[in-house]
A and B are shown apart, each in its own frame.
Chain A
Amino acid sequence: MELFLQRLFDGLSQGSVYALIALGLVIIYRGTGHLNFAQGEMALFCTYVVYQCGEWGISIGFALIIGMATGFVLGSITEVTLIRPIAKKSPFAVFIVTLGLFQFLNWIDGAIWKDQPLPNSGVGSKQQSFPSLFPNKDTDFVNVFGAAIKKQSIGVFLLVLVLTGLLFLLFNYTKLGLAMRAVASNAESAKLVGIRTNMVLMMSWGIAAAIGALGGVVFAGINHNVNLGLMFTVFIYASAAATLGGFDSPGGAVLGGLIIGVVENLAAGYADQWVGQELKVGVALVVILAVLLVKPSGLFGTEKVERV
C-alpha cells in the first residue's frame, strides 16, 4: 500500500510535467491546428535561462518569472516570424519548420551552455543541483497513510491544479480567452466579427511556450539537473497525454498527462522485469497507438468529420 501510494504520487508529479507540456501543445493546436514539435525544446531553452539566472544568483522564484517571460517572447516571435508565413504554404512545411526549430534550439542550448559546469556535476557550478521550486531535500516528506510522500511531488501536483484553474478562468472569463476559443472554433468567422486573430495566435504561442517553460523548470527540479536530452522523452509523453485527452481539450491534456505519468510509473514499478525503467517510454507508444486506432479524438476531444 505504501509503495503503491509512493508510486502513485511519483507518477502524479511526473504526470504534472507532461500535463504542462501537453497543455502547451493543445493551446497551439486549438489555435492553428499545428503540432509544435519544438515545444519541448522551447521549454528546455527557458529552463537553461532559469539555470543561468541561478548562476547569477537570482532566486528561483524570480528566475522562473524571467524564464516564463523568455518563453512567452520566444513563442510569440516564433509564431510571427516563422509559423504564420509558412502556414499559408502547407501543413507539411509547418511540420518541417518546427522540426528545424527543434534542432536549432537543441544546438543553441549546447552551443551556449555545453561547456559550462552544469549543476548535475556540481563541480565549479555555484549551484549544487538544479534549483527546485519546492523543498526537495531527503528529509522533506509528508506521511500519508504510512507512505512517505515527497513534499515536492505534492507541490508540483498542486501547482498544475492551480495553473489549470487559472487557464480555465482565462479561457472562460476573459476577453482574450473568449477570442482564443472563437479562433479555435472557426478562425475565419472570428476574423469577420472583428477578432484580431493574428494577435490571438501570437498570444496562444506565447502562453504555450511560457507554460512549457514552467514544465521544464519543474522537471529539471525533480531530476536535480538540466541536460540537452531532458525534454526528448517528456515531449513524447506529453504528446501521448494530449492524444489521450484529445488534442483540442486543455482539461483532457491535464488529465491525460496525469494518467500517463501514473500508468508509466506503476508499469515500471510493478512489471519491473518486463517494463522496468528501460521500456517506460513504450507506455507512451502504446497509448498513442491505442487511442489513435480506437478513438482518434481522444477522451475529451471533439470528433472531426471529414468531408471528401
Chain B
Amino acid sequence: MKPFATIRSGGAASWAIRIVVGVLVVYLMFWIPTSASNGVIDSCITALTLMAAAMSLNLLLGYTGQISIGHSAFYGIGAYTTGILVSRYGWSPFQTFTFAFVLAFVVGALVSLPALRIKGVYLALVTLALGLVFPQLVKAKKLVWLTGGARGLDKTGFRFTKANPTYEIFGWNPWGSLRGENIKPFLYWIAMIIVIIVYLACRGVVKSRVGRSLVAIRDNDTAAAVMGVNLAVTKGIVFGLSAALCSLPGCMSAIRTGNVTPDSTNITIQGSITFLIVMVVGGAGSLWGPIVGSALFVFITERTGDWSDPKQIPGILRPFFDWSHTPPGSGIFAVMLIALMFVAPFGIVGMWRRIVVRFVRVIPKPAGTGTLAPMAAAPVEA
C-alpha cells in the first residue's frame, strides 16, 4: 500500500504534530491534579513511579542490551536512603534525592564491574540474585539499627506544618492544599517532576553520541569496541546512571507512603519483574515505550483490582475470569508480554510505528543528527 502522506522530519508538518501532541500532554498533565478525583490522581502517581523506574531500566536494557532483573534493589536503595535520612536524621525529603542519586550511581557502577565480563542471561542471573539479596540485606541483624529490620521505617514522608509555604502561581495553586489532608496533587507533582527529569536524562543520553555508542554496544559490542567505543567506561556510566535514575522513584515512594518496608512490592523481586515487563510491553528501546507500558499496566491492574469477586467483573468478561481467586492483572500482562514477543517484539510503540509507516512516510533527518529508527532490544532478523 502506498503511504498517504509524507512528512519531512524537522519540516512544518512534523513541528505541527509535535506542538499538538505537546499541548495535549501538557494539558493532561495539568488537568489530572486539578480536576480528576483523588483515586485517579493516586493511580497516576503509581503509574508515574512505575514509568520512571521502567525508563531507567530501558536505558540499560532497551538501549545497551544489558539485562537487569535487579532494578528493584536500586529502587529500594532510593526508598531506604530517603527513609533513613528523613526518619533517623531529620533531613527534609527533598534533600535526600541528590544523596540517593549519588549512592545509587556508585552502587550501580560497582555492579557494572562484573557486568563487563558477564553477559546476557548470566548478567540476568547476577542481577536477579542482587534483587533477591537486597530485601534480605535490609533485614539483616547487623543493620537493624539503621534499616529497622523486617518492620522497616516509618514517618518517612513530609510533615506538614504551618511553616510549609504554599507556592501559588498567579493566585492559582496547582499543588492542592498542602496543609489539609489532601496532599495527593503535591505528591503527583513530585512524581511528575521525577518522570520529566528521568525522561530528559534518558533522551539526552539516547539522542547524543553516547546513545549511538550504546546502541552499537547492544547490537555488537565487539564491533563497537573496534570502532572506538570504550566499553568499560560506557557500560559503567550507563549502569550507574540507570541505577541512579531508578532510585528517584524509590525516594518518591518513601515520601508517598510515609513508610518503607522490605516487603513493599516494588522493593522485592516482583518489582524488578514488573519494571521489565511494562518496559518490554510498552516497547524496549524507545523513549515512549515505558511510559505507554506503565500507564497501561496501572490502568489494567487498577481496573481489574477487584475482580477476585466475580460480581465485579463486567458481564461479557465474567465467564473468562470468574474462576480466578486473584485479580487477573498480572496474568493478563504476562499473556500480553508473550503474545507481543511473537507479533511485535518492539512492544506497543514499535507496533504503532509499524502501523504508522504504512500510512505516513517519515523522511528522517540526515544521519548523525540523532533521529532514532525503531529498533529492537536485540538484533531480530540476524
B331 touches A95 (CB 8 A): no
Q: Give the number of residue pairs across the A-B interface with Cβ within 8 Å.
A: 152
B265–chain A nearest beta-carbon distance, Å: 12
Asked, given contacts A35-B124, A99-B273, whether A93 binds B337 with beta carbons under 8 Å apart, the answer is no
Q: Within the complex, which residue of A91, A111, A243 is in contact with B125, where a contact is CB–CB below 8 Å?
A: A243
- Alpha-carbon distance between A116 and B276 when the two chains are bound, in angstroms: 30
A293 touches B114 (CB 8 A): yes
- Alpha-carbon distance between A288 and B126 when the two chains are bound, in angstroms: 7
Q: Does A300 contact B (CB under 8 A)?
A: no
List 26 A-B pairs, Cβ < 8 Å.
Answer: A35-B125, A85-B342, A90-B382, A91-B120, A92-B65, A100-B277, A100-B335, A100-B341, A102-B334, A104-B334, A107-B334, A110-B325, A111-B328, A111-B331, A114-B308, A114-B326, A233-B132, A236-B125, A236-B128, A276-B141, A278-B137, A278-B139, A285-B126, A285-B132, A285-B133, A292-B118
Asked, given contacts A35-B124, A114-B325, A273-B142, whether A90 binds B273 with beta carbons under 8 Å apart, the answer is no
B314–chain A nearest beta-carbon distance, Å: 18
Interface residues of B, dominant DSSP: helix
Asked, given contacts A85-B342, A111-B328, whether A239 binds B139 with beta carbons under 8 Å apart, the answer is no
CB neighbours (8 Å) of A284 from chain B are: 129, 132
- Alpha-carbon distance between A28 and B22 when the two chains are bound, in angstroms: 49
Interface 0/1 of A263-281, CB less than 8 Å to B: 0000000000110101111
Interface 0/1 of A152-166, CB less than 8 Å to B: 000000000000000
Interface 0/1 of B333-354, CB less than 8 Å to A: 1110110011001000000000
Q: Does A86 contact B (CB under 8 A)?
A: yes
Mark out the residues of chain B between 119 and 174 whose CB falls within 8 Å of any chain A CB in the assembled complex. 120-122, 124-126, 128-130, 132-133, 136-137, 139-142
B126 touches A96 (CB 8 A): no
A93–chain B nearest beta-carbon distance, Å: 5
Q: A residues within 8 Å of B by Cβ?
A: 34-35, 37, 82, 85-86, 89-93, 95-97, 99-104, 106-108, 110-116, 232-233, 236, 239-240, 243, 273-274, 276, 278-282, 284-285, 288-289, 292-293, 296, 308
Q: How many residues of B contact A (CB 8 A)?
A: 52
Q: Within the complex, which residue of A111, A273, A276, A282 is in contact with B325, where a contact is CB–CB below 8 Å?
A: A111
- Alpha-carbon distance between A281 and B273 when the two chains are bound, in angstroms: 18
CB neighbours (8 Å) of B136 from chain A are: 278-282
CB neighbours (8 Å) of A280 from chain B are: 136
Q: Within the complex, which residue of A86, A107, A111, A292 is in contact with B122, where a contact is CB–CB below 8 Å?
A: A292
CB neighbours (8 Å) of A112 from chain B are: 323-325
Given A103-B331, A114-B325, A292-B118, 16 further pairs, Cβ under 8 A:
A89-B380, A93-B341, A93-B378, A95-B124, A100-B341, A103-B273, A107-B328, A110-B326, A113-B325, A115-B325, A273-B141, A274-B140, A278-B141, A282-B136, A292-B117, A293-B117
Q: Does B246 contact A (CB under 8 A)?
A: no
CB neighbours (8 Å) of B328 from chain A are: 107, 111
- Alpha-carbon distance between A273 and B69 when the two chains are bound, in angstroms: 28
Q: Does B191 contact A (CB under 8 A)?
A: no
CB neighbours (8 Å) of A108 from chain B are: 331
CB neighbours (8 Å) of A116 from chain B are: 325
Q: Does B45 contact A (CB under 8 A)?
A: no
CB neighbours (8 Å) of A93 from chain B are: 341, 345, 378, 380
